[in-house]
Structure 1
Amino acid sequence: MNQAITLATPLKLANGAEINNRFFKSAMSEQLGDKNHNPRSGLADVYRRWAEGGVGLNITGNIMIDRTALGEPKNVVLDQKSDLSTFKKWTSAATANGSHLWAQLNHPGKQIPSFLTPEPVAPSAIPLTGGLEKVFNTPRALLDSEVESVIQSFATSAALAKEAGFTGVQIHGAHGYLVSQFLSSRHNQRDDRWGGAMENRMRFVLEVYKAMRAKVGEDFPIGIKLNSADFMKGGFTEEESMQVVKALSEAGINLIEISGGTYENPSMMGSKKNKPKASTVQREAYFLEYAEKVRKLVKTPLVVTGGFRSSQAMTDAIQSGATDMVGIARPLTLIPDLPKKAIANDQYKTNFKEPTTGFKLVDKMIMINIVWYEQQIHLMAKGGNPKADLSGWSTVWMTLKSMGAQAFKKRRA
């Protein structure tokens, strides 16, 4: 235990970048892209609020690298057609308090709802399962030349992020999106240099990192969000994850956020399919035991996201040495100044009930476990305050108002 480290202790990355404290706002879907997939002005207000609330490092929601490959209808896209002036307003507001703002860059692969594209792409032409194939079309396998093109798109978006004023970028390599698909033998059954043995399956993410680094230079932070495991039969395993962590660390990645699961089995949301052990509940963090194993392999700073609700558990986690930052997402939609409160009070705790309409079918159709938190973000984007007492039915109405018929179309795998 290193009791000299507190939640307020700055973290210096190997490339010299310094983060004010140990609070890491993990990515959440905002759905605040405009019709051209540039950020709406409200995003600046939301992230200014989180910066002023004491977050050391803010990670954006999914920013897509290809406007023909959207994960959700109102995704922000950062490519050569983007209006960088709108991004600069966002980054200026979000970094004014000394907070970092990193762009989470992503390609959804086959996790594209069928109403957004008739034929998504993926490492292999393997559909999602468990009923998801009804609303997510079977993908087409990427050609080798297309794989190279996607890698360059990641690099281009990273360069544009630096130009737009983001202080770093994060590769989304978790939750069943394209990078995650390449890593998984369940989804990647290629027989070329991109598939087969783990050495080949991790080639894609390593090439993405190398291409980004070539564009942004050594001083610009690059991180990754990576699954500890997919928790799926035939999927990405914990042992394979550790191989990837070691390879990325050796390549020079600056920060690794640990998550787990896919939208087929969403362990990152506390999936009932993987009920947490009693020790996990006590320590709050979902993936802390995995992080302890990783810490023995690499010195790269780590972030554990998922489950933290008290100052004591957060402090214990960083003082144990298993993680360097505490990743928080949903609580920040209700308590945007949670970091300040947690730093000021070592007995601080927060707790809230999961939203519901009272009808499981409606909750599932509207994806209330996602859109309720999106609506809290939208309230802040309009200059208002979060509403912990926002009812399930109010959420349904607000989502219908903002998304129309698309509100009832499945947009997450």
Structure 2
Amino acid sequence: MATPTLNDEKTLQRGRPIKNRLSKSAMSEQLGNARHDPDERLARLYRAWADGGIGLSMTGNVMIDRNALGEPKNVVLDEQSDLDAFRNWAEQGQANATQVWMQLNHPGKQIPRFLNSQPVAPSAVPLGGGLEKMFATPRALEGDEIQAIIGQFARSAHLAKETGFSGVQIHGAHGYLVSQFLSPRHNQRDDEWGGSPENRRRFVLAVHEAIREVVGPDFPVGIKLNSADFMKDGFSEEESMDVVRALTEAGIDLIEISGGTYEAPAMTGFKAKKENAREAYFLDYADAVRRHTDVPLMVTGGFRSATAMQQALDSGATDFIGLARPMAVDPELPRTLLSNPQAKLAIKRPSTGFKGLDKALMLDITYYESHLARHADGKKPRPGLSPWITVASTFSAMGANAFKPRRG
């Protein structure tokens, strides 16, 4: 059987066909308004990606609880939201036959102290590696609170469907709440929600089941899942495989593979496995996952050239190529990749030349947010954007909060 090309469409178990194999992975856009609704700038950004030729866009994480924000300008979808604003976002993002799935998230303990001094988590275990200075020790969730959060995931999924999004994705990676439940390092409960691998994955399965119940049998539901946490006593590849098997049996529609947490950010390349000429960080894991599931897979992290993307499809390790930072720099990149098999995008690590300033302003994150803000304002891509533009815009937008850590 011939292997697919980047231009080939893909039909999942549910939903309409996705027109090509390129997907914009979720990024932190920081474009929610004062009410945590999506405004016209966010809609304009997704229209730029749709016009650029992407097949599937995953939104930046939309929070299910406005009292549990991971970052100051997160978008929240609940009963207080302006649903017309969400309808406009979905409509603009689905131009040019693009699909837009909403990524749903609860940060758990990964809430900066200046946003919440008493976050919740499966267990009262603080973040390590120095992050305990920036993120408060969480309070362990009670059983009824866990059930309430499961209900919040379902409510937000229902509203995402109601407002016109093409599907939803559960954020089960990068150390957020779902990921915390899966990790033996962070989940030290001894009730039905912890104590064994089976119990630790009970939460994500309950979230998926609750979402499926409210969105019906024909609406696609996916997940972003860690291949591993890359930490001692953390979520392992073996446990991740077991979660993949359980979600496959439950009927998940798409699995996006990533890895790492705030404490060990493999999703940015830190400690991620990268072998031979493969650009992507998690392809070896994806190869292994193929033995355990026939659910379509998406691999995100590290891809920079059309050649490596096509090789990944040829290998059978993945069905979709996930792109994040390259899409932040150039929304029109998909059109280039689909028309030129030799296309590539070189991205250098941004730096002002002052390591302390780079770290204080989290330039590895805020630099790409500056690109997103340009596209949201209708400006043309500028791959060589000076990091000092980011410094100026960060101070202008956040003032003293610029030095308050939002993410690990």
SS at match of 1:179: helix
- 156-165 or 343-352: which moved more? 343-352
Give, in angstroms, the shift of residue 232 of structure 1. Answer: 0.4
Partners of 1:69 and 1:16 lie apart in 2 by 30
Give, in angstroms, the shift of residue 135 of structure 1. Answer: 1.1
Q: Is the 8 A contact 2:4 2:313 kept in 1?
A: yes
User: Are 2:318 and 1:319 aligned?
Assistant: no
User: Are 2:133 and 1:138 aligned?
Assistant: no
- 176-185 or 349-358: which moved more? 349-358
User: Are 2:377 and 1:382 aligned?
Assistant: yes
Residues 58-79 of structure 1: per-residue CA shift (max 9 Å, x gap): 0000100000000000000001
Query: Unaligned stretches of 5+ in structure 1?
Result: none
SS at match of 1:12: coil
Amino acid at match of 1:321: G
Among all aligned residue pairs of Structure 1 and Structure 2, give the percentage whose two residues are the same amino acid.
Answer: 60
Which of residues 281, 291, 294 is equivalent to 2:289?
294
Give, in angstroms, the shift of residue 390 of structure 1. Answer: 1.8
Amino acid at match of 2:8: T
Give, in angstroms, the shift of residue 387 of structure 1. Answer: 2.1
Amino acid at match of 2:281: Y
- In structure 1, the residue matched to 2:16 is 17
Give, in angstroms, the shift of residue 16 of structure 1. Answer: 4.5
Partners of 1:380 and 1:267 lie apart in 2 by 27
Residues 261-285 of structure 1: per-residue CA shift (max 9 Å, x gap): 10110011011xx264442xx1101
SS at match of 1:353: coil
Please give the root-mean-square deviation of Cα atoms over the aligned residues, in Å.
0.9
Give, in angstroms, the shift of residue 403 of structure 1. Answer: 1.5
Amino acid at match of 2:99: H
Q: Is the 8 A contact 2:272 2:282 kept in 1?
A: no
SS at match of 1:376: helix
Q: Is the 8 A contact 1:377 1:386 kept in 2?
A: no
Residues 210-231 of structure 1: per-residue CA shift (max 9 Å, x gap): 0000000011110000000000
Q: Kindly tell me: are residues 29 and 387 of structure 1, through their superposed partners in 2, closer, same or farther at Cα, counting changes over 3 Å?
A: same
User: Are 2:399 and 1:404 aligned?
Assistant: yes
Partners of 2:272 and 2:96 lie apart in 1 by 39
Query: Unaligned stretches of 5+ in structure 2?
Result: none
- In structure 2, the residue matched to 1:194 is 193
Q: Is the 8 A contact 1:255 1:303 kept in 2?
A: yes
Give, in angstroms, the shift of residue 389 of structure 1. Answer: 2.1
Amino acid at match of 1:240: E
Partners of 1:161 and 1:349 lie apart in 2 by 34
User: Are 2:213 and 1:214 aligned?
Assistant: yes
Give the alignment of 1:252-263 within 5 angstroms: 252-263=251-262
Partners of 1:115 and 1:183 lie apart in 2 by 26
Give the alignment of 1:9-408 within 5 angstroms: 9-271=8-270, 274=271, 276-279=273-276, 282-408=277-403
Partners of 2:34 and 2:354 lie apart in 1 by 32
TM-score by length of 1: 0.97
Amino acid at match of 2:362: M
Q: Is the 8 A contact 2:28 2:61 kept in 1?
A: yes
Partners of 2:31 and 2:370 lie apart in 1 by 11
Amino acid at match of 1:59: M
TM-score by length of 2: 0.99
Partners of 1:353 and 1:219 lie apart in 2 by 42
Q: Is the 8 A contact 1:17 1:221 kept in 2?
A: no
Residues 270-320 of structure 1: per-residue CA shift (max 9 Å, x gap): 11xx264442xx110100010000011100000000011111111111121
Amino acid at match of 1:372: Y
Partners of 2:274 and 2:112 lie apart in 1 by 33
Q: Kindly tell me: are residues 196 and 93 of structure 1, through their superposed partners in 2, closer, same or farther at Cα, counting changes over 3 Å?
A: same
